[in-house]
Amino acid sequence: MEICEYCSIQLYMYVIIVNSQKGGSGKTTLSAHLAVEAERIGDGPVHIIDTDPQGSLARWHSIREAETPERSELPFDRLAEGLEVLKTRGVAYVIIDTAPVRSDEITDLLKLADLVLVPLKPSKQDAWSAATTVSTLKKEALNFMFVLNMVKPNARITAQTAAALSSHGQVSESFIGDRVAYITSIGEGLTAQEEEPGKLAAREITMLWSDIKDRLKAINSKS
């Protein structure tokens, strides 16, 4: 589980699962943006997998003209086997979108992750809903990181939610704002960094992806 210190080549395939028990937390939008960002800066190859029956990530990918990231269709009960195949093909990152439900299947899925991202809106309700997710993650000793998503500018609740979550686990220092670019770009099979390169939304995703890689390096150094 090494990362080359002198080049961008990944020597290990990382599985990132985006999961939250609360609907409307922006899991699909985040998954798409992170996958594109990883490819954009040369961290690929990246594959995305949509395990949500609603299929929103798969739908986004189906209307996308760019060849990357690639999407793998794997049966839920054969995901572990499929991930091993992707590893032999030199895939660097796999980003998996999930449904907002609690079940034994989801728990088994989370065990496949090198890192679980838990996106939440900055609100007391979302912070409360995180308890179920955190309980599962800690019980299984899984690595995870909270991501505050759809953040309103200058809202006091953002800092309050971050503080509350930090007592349960690491919170990404990079927040994702409540920006129209995230929504409009997804509807066109794009992402904000493609539709509005260099603007705030694009910079937020770049910083978040950097935070994620730092977290993976820290996890890797302990293994």
What pTM value is reported for the model? 0.92
Question: In the chain, what percentage of residues exceed pLDDT 70?
Answer: 93
Interstrand relation of 93-97 and 46-50 (parallel, antiparallel or unpaired): parallel
**Position 76 pLDDT exceeds 90:** no
Q: List, in sequence order, the alpha helices (H) in the chain.
A: 27-40, 56-62, 79-88, 104-110, 124-139, 156-166, 180-186, 192-195, 200-222
Least confident of 55-64, 83-92, 125-134: 125-134
Q: 5 lies in a domain?
A: no
Report whether pLDDT(7) > 80: no
Can you tell me which residue has the tokens 């990132």? 16
More confident residue, 45 or 128: 45
Which whole number is the average pLDDT over 44-69?
Answer: 96
Report d(CA 95, CA 31) in Å as an integer.
6
Q: Does residue 2 belong to any structural domain of this protein? A: no
Q: Is residue 55 part of a domain?
A: yes
Q: Does 6 map to a domain?
A: no
Percent of residues in the chain assigned helix, strand, coil, to nearest 5: 45, 15, 40
CB atoms closer than 10 angstroms to residue 157: 17
pLDDT tens digits, 158-201: 999 999 899 899 999 999 999 999 999 999 999 999 999 999 99
Band (pLDDT 50/70/90 cuts) for residue 63 is very high
Taking residues 32-41, what's their average pLDDT? Answer: 98
In a domain, residue 202? The reply is yes
* 3 closest CA partner among 206, 219, 214, 217: 217
In this predicted structure, the answer to whether residue 84 has a pLDDT above a threshold of 60 is yes
Domain tally, the chain: 1
What is residue 87's predicted lDDT score, i.e. its pLDDT? 94
Q: What is the pLDDT of residue 45?
A: 97
pLDDT at 4 over 60: no
In a domain, 4, yes or no: no
Average pLDDT over all residues of the chain: 90
**Domain region containing 129:** 14-217
Query: What's the pLDDT band for 2 if we cut at 50, 70, 90?
Result: very low
Strand partners, 148: 120
Read off the pLDDT of residues 99-156 as tens digits, 9 standing for 90 and up: 877 667 788 899 999 999 999 999 888 888 788 788 889 999 999 999 999 999 878 8
Looking at the domain assignment, is residue 7 inside a domain? no
The CATH number that applies at residue 114 is: 3.40.50.300
Residue 16 has pLDDT above 70, yes or no: yes
Q: How far apart are CA 178 and CA 130, in angstroms?
A: 20
Decide if 9 is inside a domain: no
Position 104 scores a pLDDT of 72
